[in-house]
Chains A and B, each alone.
Chain A
Amino acid sequence: MKDLRIARGVIYFFLVLLVIICFIPFYMMIVNATRSNSEILRGFSLMPSDALFANYETLTNYINIWLGFRNSLFIAVSVTVLNAYFSALTAFALAVYHFKGKNAMFIIFIILMMVPGQLGLIGLYDLAATFGILDTYWPLIIPAIAAPFTVFFFRQYLITSMPMSILESGRIDGAGETYMFHRLVLPILSPAIATMGIFTFIGSWNNFLFPLVIIRSPRLYTLPIMIRQLQGSPVAQNLGAIYLGIAISVVPIMVAFIFLSKYIISSISAGAVKG
Chain B
Amino acid sequence: MIKNNKAYLFVAPFVIVFLTFNIYPILLTFYYSLTNYTGMGGIENADFIGLDNYRRLIQDDFFFQAFFNTIRIWGLNFAIQIAIALGLALLFTDIRLKLKGLNWFRALFFLPNIITIASVALLFSILLDWNFGSLNQMLLSLNIIDRPINWLNNPTYAQSWVALIGAWMWFGNTFIVLMAGISGIPTDFYEAAFIDGANWWQSFTKITLPQLKPILLYVFITSIIGGLQIFDLPMLLTDGRGAPRGSLNTMVLYLYNQAFSFANFGYSAAIAYGLFLITIVFSAVTFKTMYRGQVKVKKGGKK
Contact = CB atoms under 8 A, between A and B. Distances in A.
A223 B32 contact: no
A228 B141 contact: no
Contacts of A40: 132
B24 interface: yes
A126 B225 CA distance: 25
B262 interface: no
A129 B42 CA distance: 8
Nearest to A19: B108
A269 B111 CA distance: 15
A224 B176 contact: no
Contact of A19 (B109, B118, B231, B276): B109
> How extensive is the interface on chain A, given as a class?
35 or more
B118 A224 contact: yes
B218 A228 contact: no
Contacts of B32: 122-123, 126
Interface in B123-168: 123-127, 131-132, 134, 137-138, 140-141, 168
Interface residues of B, number: 93
B117 interface: yes
B99 interface: yes
Given A94-B11, A123-B29, A246 B123 contact: yes
Interface of B is mostly: helix
A115 B276 contact: yes
B244 interface: no
Contacts of B8: 99
Given A22-B168, A228-B236, A98 B3 contact: yes
Interface in B69-102: 84, 88, 91, 96-97, 99
A23 B260 CA distance: 35
Contact of B117 (A32, A208, A269, A273): A208
Contact of A90 (B11, B22, B105, B180): B11
B279 interface: yes
Contacts of B218: 272, 275
Contacts of B192: none
A177 B14 CA distance: 18
Interface of A: 4, 7-8, 11-12, 15, 18-19, 22-23, 25, 28-29, 32, 40-41, 43-44, 86-87, 89-90, 92-94, 96-99, 105, 112, 114-127, 129-130, 139, 142-143, 145-146, 148, 151, 177-178, 181, 202, 205-206, 208-209, 212-213, 223-225, 227-228, 230-231, 239, 242-243, 246, 249-250, 253-254, 257, 261-262, 264-265, 268-270, 272-273, 275
Given A15-B88, A265-B107, 13 more contacts: A19-B108, A22-B168, A44-B140, A89-B14, A116-B225, A120-B25, A122-B25, A126-B265, A127-B28, A208-B118, A224-B117, A224-B118, A257-B107
30 contacts: A90-B10, A97-B2, A97-B10, A114-B283, A116-B229, A116-B275, A119-B26, A120-B29, A122-B32, A122-B268, A123-B24, A123-B25, A126-B265, A142-B17, A146-B14, A177-B6, A205-B116, A206-B115, A206-B118, A213-B256, A227-B119, A230-B122, A246-B122, A246-B123, A253-B116, A254-B111, A261-B110, A272-B181, A272-B215, A273-B181
- 6 closest pairs, A vs B, by CB? A123-B25, A44-B137, A123-B28, A120-B25, A224-B118, A97-B7
